[in-house]
C-alpha cells in the first residue's frame, strides 16, 4: 500500500501506540505511514475540568511518533466545530482528504459527535474506499493506556510507567533561575517549572538522567515545593551527579525518571538536609549503575 494512516490522540506514544504504528508500517510496506493526531486534547475543549495532565507536549509527541515509525505526522486542530461533526462528516472531512488506502486505530478509538462511533463504524462509513484495521489494546486485562501511565506517574511509580511507555518517563523544560541554594549546599540543580495540565511525578526524590544537547548525566531529582525552606512553587530540581560547574540556565533539558527513592521531607536543620542529599546522590548512583540514559 502506498499510504496508511494511524489515528489516535497518541499522548505519550506508549507501547500500545507503538503497536499501532508497527501495524501501519507492516501494511504500508515501502509506502508511507502517516500518524494523524489531535491537538489540543479533546477534553480540553469539551470538558476542561476533566482534561488530563498530558504526558508530553506536542513537539515531543511529533518526535516520538517519528521515532515509532511515522514518515509524516499530521496534527488536526480539535475544535468545538470538529467535535460537533457526525461520524460521516468526520470521515469525509478528515479521513478522505488524507487519501489513505488503509487506516489503523485502537479498539478504544472514538470519533464523531459525542464520541459515538468507533473503528467498526468507520469501516462501514468507508464504503470500500479504504480498509480499516482495529487493533485490540495491548496488555489484555491490564491494558497499556495513557490514563494508567498518568496514574503510575501521579503515584510516584516511574518503573510501572516505563513498562507501559517502553522507555523512561521524560519531563522536558527550560532551565529557570531558582533560589540558588543548591550550589551553596554543594548540590547545584537545574530547575524546571511544572506547568498546569502537565504530568509530573509525585513529590519526592528520584534517580534518573539529565540530558542537554548531546550530553547525558546520572541525576538525583527532587520534585516538590522545597518544604524545608517553606517553598510554594512546585518544580523539578535535577542535580547532575559529579557536575559542579554546569551552567544550564535558559537551556532546554530533558529529565528521565528511573526510580523513586523516597518521599518529600522537611528537615529541621541545613546539616540534616545536606546529609540526606548526600545519601540521595549515593542511592541514585547505585540505582543508575545498572541503567542507561536514553537520548
pLDDT at 100: 96
pLDDT band at residue 179 using 50, 70 and 90 as cut-offs: low
21 lies in some domain: yes
**Contact (Cβ atoms closer than 8 angstroms) between residue 126 and residue 116:** no
pLDDT at 156: 97
| CA-angle at 213, arms to 16 and 286, nearest 5° | 70
Residue 197: CATH number of its domain: 2.40.30.30
pLDDT tens column, 212-236: 999 999 999 999 987 666 666 889 9
Grid cell listed for 141: 486485562
Closest listed residue to residue 255, CA positions, set 194, 193, 199, 212: 212
Do both 114 and 12 map to the same domain? yes
Do both 15 and 125 map to the same domain? yes
Full-model pTM: 0.93
Do both 102 and 36 map to the same domain? yes
Overall number of domains in the chain: 2
Between 113 and 185, the higher pLDDT residue = 113
Other residues' Cβ atoms within 10 Å of the Cβ of residue 190 = 28
Do both 111 and 182 map to the same domain? no
Residue 110: CATH number of its domain: 3.40.50.620
3-state secondary structure of 109: coil
pLDDT band at residue 191 using 50, 70 and 90 as cut-offs: very high
Question: What gap in Å lies between CA 76 and CA 238, rounded to an integer?
Answer: 35
34 lies in some domain: yes
94 lies in some domain: yes
Do both 174 and 111 map to the same domain? no
Q: Phi/psi of residue 268, each to 5°?
A: -80, -15
Do both 34 and 128 map to the same domain? yes
Do both 16 and 124 map to the same domain? yes
Question: What gap in Å lies between CA 282 and CA 241, rounded to an integer?
Answer: 9
123 lies in some domain: yes
Do both 119 and 9 map to the same domain? yes
Residue 171, Ramachandran bin (φ over 0: left; ψ between -120 and 50: alpha; else beta): beta
End-to-end CA distance of the chain: 32
Between 178 and 215, the higher pLDDT residue = 215
3-state secondary structure of 208: strand
Question: What gap in Å lies between CA 279 and CA 293, rounded to an integer?
Answer: 21
Task: Name the average pLDDT for the chain.
Answer: 94
164 lies in some domain: no
| pLDDT higher than threshold 70 for residue 72 | yes
Range of the domain at 121: 3-135
Do both 270 and 178 map to the same domain? yes
Closest listed residue to residue 132, CA positions, set 21, 1, 4: 4
Question: What gap in Å lies between CA 118 and CA 102, rounded to an integer?
Answer: 15
| pLDDT higher than threshold 70 for residue 50 | yes
146 lies in some domain: no
90 lies in some domain: yes
pLDDT at 140: 83
pLDDT tens column, 120-139: 999 999 999 999 999 999 98
CA distances from 185 to 134, 226, 274, 276, 277 (A): 55, 14, 7, 12, 9
pLDDT at 246: 87
Question: What gap in Å lies between CA 95 and CA 37, rounded to an integer?
Answer: 12
Amino acid at each position: 500500500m502506498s499510504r496508511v494512516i494511524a489515528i489516535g490522540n497518541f499522548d505519550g506514544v506508549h507501547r500500545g501506540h507503538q503497536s499501532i504504528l508497527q501495524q501501519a508500517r507492516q501494511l504500508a510496506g515501502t509506502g508511507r505511514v502517516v500518524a494523524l493526531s489531535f491537538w489540543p486534547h479533546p477534553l480540553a475543549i469539551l470538558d476542561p475540568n476533566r482534561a488530563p495532565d498530558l504526558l508530553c507536549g506536542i513537539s515531543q509527541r511529533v518526535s516520538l511518533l517519528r521515532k515509532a515509525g511515522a514518515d509524516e505526522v499530521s496534527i488536526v486542530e480539535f475544535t468545538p466545530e470538529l467535535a460537533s461533526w457526525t461520524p460521516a462528516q468526520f470521515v469525509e472531512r478528515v479521513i478522505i482528504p488524507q487519501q489513505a488506502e488503509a487506516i489503523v486505530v485502537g479498539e478504544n478509538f472514538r470519533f464523531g459527535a459525542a464520541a459515538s462511533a468507533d473503528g467498526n463504524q468507520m469501516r462501514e462509513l468507508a464504503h470500500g474506499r479504504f480498509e480499516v484495521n482495529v487493533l485490540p489494546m495491548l496488555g489484555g486485562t491490564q491494558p497499556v493506556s495513557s490514563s494508567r501511565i498518568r496514574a503510575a506517574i501521579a503515584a510516584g511509580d516511574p518503573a510501572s510507567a516505563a513498562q507501559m511507555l517502553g522507555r523512561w518517563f521524560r519531563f522536558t523544560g527550560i532551565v529557570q533561575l531558582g533560589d540558588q541554594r543548591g550550589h551553596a549546599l554543594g548540590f547545584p540543580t537545574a530547575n524546571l517549572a511544572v506547568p498546569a495540565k502537565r504530568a509530573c511525578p509525585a513529590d519526592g526524590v528520584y534517580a534518573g538522567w539529565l540530558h542537554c544537547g548531546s550530553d547525558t548525566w546520572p541525576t538525583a531529582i527532587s520534585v516538590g515545593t522545597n518544604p524545608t525552606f517553606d517553598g510554594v512553587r512546585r518544580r523539578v530540581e535535577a542535580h547532575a551527579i559529579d557536575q559542579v560547574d554546569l551552567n544550564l540556565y535558559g537551556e532546554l533539558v530533558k529529565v528521565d525518571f528511573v526510580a523513586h527513592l523516597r518521599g518529600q521531607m522537611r528537615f529541621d536543620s541545613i546539616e540534616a538536609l545536606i546529609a540526606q542529599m548526600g545519601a540521595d546522590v549515593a542511592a541514585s548512583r547505585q540505582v543508575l549503575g545498572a541503567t542507561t540514559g536514553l537520548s
